[in-house]
Amino acid sequence: MKIISVETFTNEYVGLVRLRTDEGDEGWGQTSTYNSEITAQVVHLQIAPHVLGMSALDISEVNREVLEREHKFPGTYLYRALCGVDTALWDIKAKRANKSVCQLLGGSPSSVPVYASSMQREISPEAEAERLLMLKEADGYFAFKFRIGRECGHDIDQWPGRTESIIKEVRKTLGDEVSLLVDANSAYSPKKAIEVGHMLEDYGVSHFEEPCPYWEPDWTRQVSEALDIDVSGGEQDNDMRVWRHMIDTRVVDIVQPDICYMGGITRTLEVAKLAEKKGIPVTLHAANLSLVTLFSAHLMGSIKNPGKYLEFSIEGLDYYPWQDNIFSPDFKIVDGHLELPHKPGWGAEINQEWLSLANYQVSYTGSRF
């Protein structure tokens, strides 16, 4: 059962990958979002030449071959591209077993608990609290994440006083029965992060994400050691050396790999297993409503050390218009849970209208593009 073609369908933001085999199998995957046409070039130039002709069922071997053959390119674009091939292979393998990917990996939940995740910093504390309340009442969310500080902010707030104000406003508006999470996106020095962290503790916030620049893991460890609140991180990381260091030295209390940044399901599972050995939960990063959230739900539903909930973006088409009409059925939230029907593979159909508008390239045995 050999891989005979690698196809990409891309626009500026989203890249889908279709693999076909000599036995008539077809699998769909996705590269990481943004600059997707650059990533597609990497798929065809640095991944397809190695995987064409390989077994579609030996996914670990495909990963090994690509990363060893391209060992001089250990950067994010290689992993972003590899994710498209890896996730398409998992789709094929699960379909052949007549199982969902989640079932193939040993899980079978009908739904996965999620937290409502805001991506906005320009929004006022009052407006943020109000829209979170509306979601709580409409869809039964019981956990919410919002943004504090300024992204890579060197201790500077998005505007003076916003962080203090939004923490107080969201807690007051949503009440004490919900779980609150915050994301600092590398905003603080250790001293400032600890100061903010104590305020978060005072307001019952349970999760403090990426408090310090992610490239300074020792800074983050200082914060996690100083606070009772759970400190999380790892969304930007794809190097297994970094992951081993992060987990072995307990830089964070919760690890947050992103399947698409990591290079797919296979390598993300490696991180989850490393964390499991150390008793560290995994709360996957899934910051938009492309296929990354679907991939993440299948994985979170199958691992032995899932976090309390999966990230689920609350930003609609007004904020991310490129999320529209990629696949069906659409995500469905019921009582704060993402429903997970167990149809074969990813359980999603790629919409032909979206494909018809995408830029197309193909690599196949004996040729390319």
Cis previous bond, 329, omega within 30: yes
For strands 359-364 and 349-350, give the pairing: unpaired
State the burial class of residue 252 (Cβ atoms within 10 Å of its Cβ: 0-12, 13-18, 19+): buried
pLDDT at position 366 is: 64
pLDDT at position 365 is: 81
% of the chain at pLDDT higher than 70: 99
Task: Write the pLDDT tens digit of every residue in 156-191.
Answer: 999 999 999 999 999 999 999 999 999 999 999 999
DSSP state of 264: S
% of the chain at pLDDT higher than 90: 99
pLDDT for residue 66 is more than 60? yes
pLDDT at position 22 is: 96
Give the three-class secondary structure for 270: helix
Question: 367 pLDDT band (50/70/90 cuts)?
Answer: low
Q: Name every residue whose Cβ is closer than 8 Å to that of residue 336 and which is 6 or more positions away in sequence.
A: 113, 114, 139, 140, 141, 142, 143
Place of tokens 């590899």: 82
**Amino acid symbol at 57:** L
Task: Write the pLDDT tens digit of every residue in 72-113.
Answer: 999 999 999 999 999 999 999 999 999 999 999 999 999 999
pLDDT at position 369 is: 46
**Amino acid symbol at 212:** C
List residues bridging with 338 in a β-sheet.
Answer: 112, 333
Q: Mean pLDDT across the stretch 103-128?
A: 98
| Nearest-angstrom CA–CA distance, 179 and 166 | 15
Q: Taking the model in full, what pTM does it have?
A: 0.96
Q: Mean pLDDT across the stretch 3-11?
A: 98
Domains assigned to the chain: 3-97+352-368 (3.30.390.10), 102-339 (3.20.20.120)
Other C-beta atoms lying within 10 Å of the C-beta of residue 359: 13
* Closest C-alpha to 146, from 311, 324, 322, 323: 311
Q: Mean pLDDT across the stretch 24-35?
A: 98
Task: Write the pLDDT tens digit of every residue in 266-284.
Answer: 999 999 999 999 999 999 9
Q: Mean pLDDT across the stretch 46-63?
A: 97
What share of residues in the chain are helix, strand, coil (percent, to 5)? 40, 20, 40
pLDDT for residue 368 is more than 70? no
List residues bridging with 337 in a β-sheet.
Answer: 113, 334
Give the three-class secondary structure for 113: strand
Task: Write the pLDDT tens digit of every residue in 196-205.
Answer: 999 999 999 9
Plot region of 320 (φ>0 → left; ψ -120 to 50 → alpha; else → beta): beta
| Nearest-angstrom CA–CA distance, 174 and 131 | 10
| Nearest-angstrom CA–CA distance, 47 and 69 | 9
Task: Write the pLDDT tens digit of every residue in 203-224.
Answer: 999 999 999 999 999 999 999 9
